């Protein structure tokens, strides 16, 4: 796949979210691939450069196997994400990413800026933090209807507060916090992205963040860094 076509590509997530690749470093216009940028960063230790595909790939696998992590920090990904606050709540814990968020003080929220889950997952009996199985269809339809009514009521109160002259920064107190969609730019280097992916693609991660992590990995990370992805699956993902 042409890497250039990855930039600007947007993958839709959940009911109203997306993940879009804004930029990669090294840029696809440069004559060096991301995998090679990692290898060349490692070779700077002894002032060397590419030694051909076979030796380069072998070195990259060596770096991954021995957790020689700093060369992987030389490649960066910048994404635009639209996700409900429940997902941002978890995303912002990854302190090694750089982040710039839409401002609810500046931009008013729209009527449909709220997450409605496709299915209602049940509380897990064995793990207090997790879900397991689904609520039956009839009860789920009822829950969705109630949730939408709740959003409509909340949004009406938000609008009323704005109309009464209340600032956007305070009027938003009427909105259901965890479900509001926010857009942000999220930049992270490959070493820390792999750490994020191994935590958030795992089965114990919440479904809503897992779909973002999986999309980032399948649609952007793997095509951009095929050797790194292969080594990551062999030495990191298999062991966690």
Ligand X SMILES: Cc1cc2nc3c(=O)[nH]c(=O)nc-3n(C[C@H](O)[C@H](O)[C@H](O)COP(=O)(O)OP(=O)(O)OC[C@H]3O[C@@H](n4cnc5c(N)ncnc54)[C@H](O)[C@@H]3O)c2cc1C
Q: Which is nearer to ligand X, 59 or 205 (CB)?
A: 205
Q: Which is nearer to ligand X, 129 or 238 (CB)?
A: 129
Token pair belonging to 15 = 């009911």
Q: Is 87 helix (H, G, I), strand (E, B) or coil?
A: helix
Q: Is 199 in the site for ligand X (CB under 6 A)?
A: yes
Contacts with ligand X in 74-93 (CB under 6 A)? 93
State whether the Cα torsion 226-232-235-239 is positive or negative.
negative
Are residues 184 and 98 in contact, defined by beta-carbon separation less than 8 angstroms? Answer: no
Quick one: CA torsion of 192, 193, 194, 197, rounded to 10 degrees?
130
Q: Is 236 in the site for ligand X (CB under 6 A)?
A: no
Closest CA to 10 of 189, 228, 212, 227: 212
Q: Could you tell me the maximum CA-CA distance found in the chain, to the nearest angstrom?
A: 68
What's the min distance (Å) between Cβ of 60 and ligand X?
21
Range in contact with ligand X (rule: CB under 6 A) among 34-42, 79-87, 175-183, 192-200 = 192-200
Q: Is 95 in the site for ligand X (CB under 6 A)?
A: yes
Among 195, 210, 219, 222, binds ligand X (CB under 6 A): 195
What's the min distance (Å) between Cβ of 127 and ligand X?
10
Among 192, 210, 222, 236, binds ligand X (CB under 6 A): 192
Q: Say whether 95 is catalytic.
A: no
Q: Is 139 helix (H, G, I), strand (E, B) or coil?
A: helix
Catalytic residue among 82, 93, 200, 210: 200
Produce one character per residue of 132-161: b if its CB has 16 or more CB atoms within 10 Å, e if not.
Answer: eeeeeeeebeeeeeebeeebeebbeebeeb
Q: Is 32 in the site for ligand X (CB under 6 A)?
A: no
Q: Give contact residues for ligand X (rule: CB under 6 A).
A: 93-96, 192, 195, 199, 204-205
Q: Give me the active site residues, please.
A: 200
């Amino acid at each position: 796949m042409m890497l250039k076509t990855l930039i600007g590509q947007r993958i839709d997530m959940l009911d109203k979210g997306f993940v879009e690749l804004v930029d990669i470093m090294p840029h696809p216009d440069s004559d060096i691939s991301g995998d090679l940028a990692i290898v060349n960063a490692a070779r700077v230790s002894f002032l060397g450069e590419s030694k051909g595909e076979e030796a380069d790939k072998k070195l990259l696998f060596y770096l991954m196997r021995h957790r020689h992590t700093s060369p992987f920090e030389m490649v960066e990904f910048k994404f635009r994400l639209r996700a409900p606050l429940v997902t941002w709540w978890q995303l912002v814990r990854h302190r090694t990413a750089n982040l710039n968020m839409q401002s609810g003080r500046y931009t008013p929220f729209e009527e449909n800026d709220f997450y409605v889950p496709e299915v209602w997952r049940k509380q897990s009996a064995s793990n207090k933090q997790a879900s397991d199985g689904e609520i039956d269809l009839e009860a789920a339809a009822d829950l969705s209807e109630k949730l939408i009514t709740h959003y409509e009521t909340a949004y009406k109160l938000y609008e009323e507060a704005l109309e009464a002259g209340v600032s956007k920064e305070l009027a938003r107190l009427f909105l259901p916090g965890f479900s509001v969609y926010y857009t942000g730019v999220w930049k992270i280097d490959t070493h820390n992205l792999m750490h994020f992916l191994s935590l958030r693609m795992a089965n114990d991660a919440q479904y809503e963040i897992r779909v973002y992590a999986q999309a980032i990995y399948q649609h952007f990370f793997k095509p951009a860094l095929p050797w790194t992805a292969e080594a990551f699956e062999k030495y990191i993902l298999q062991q966690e």
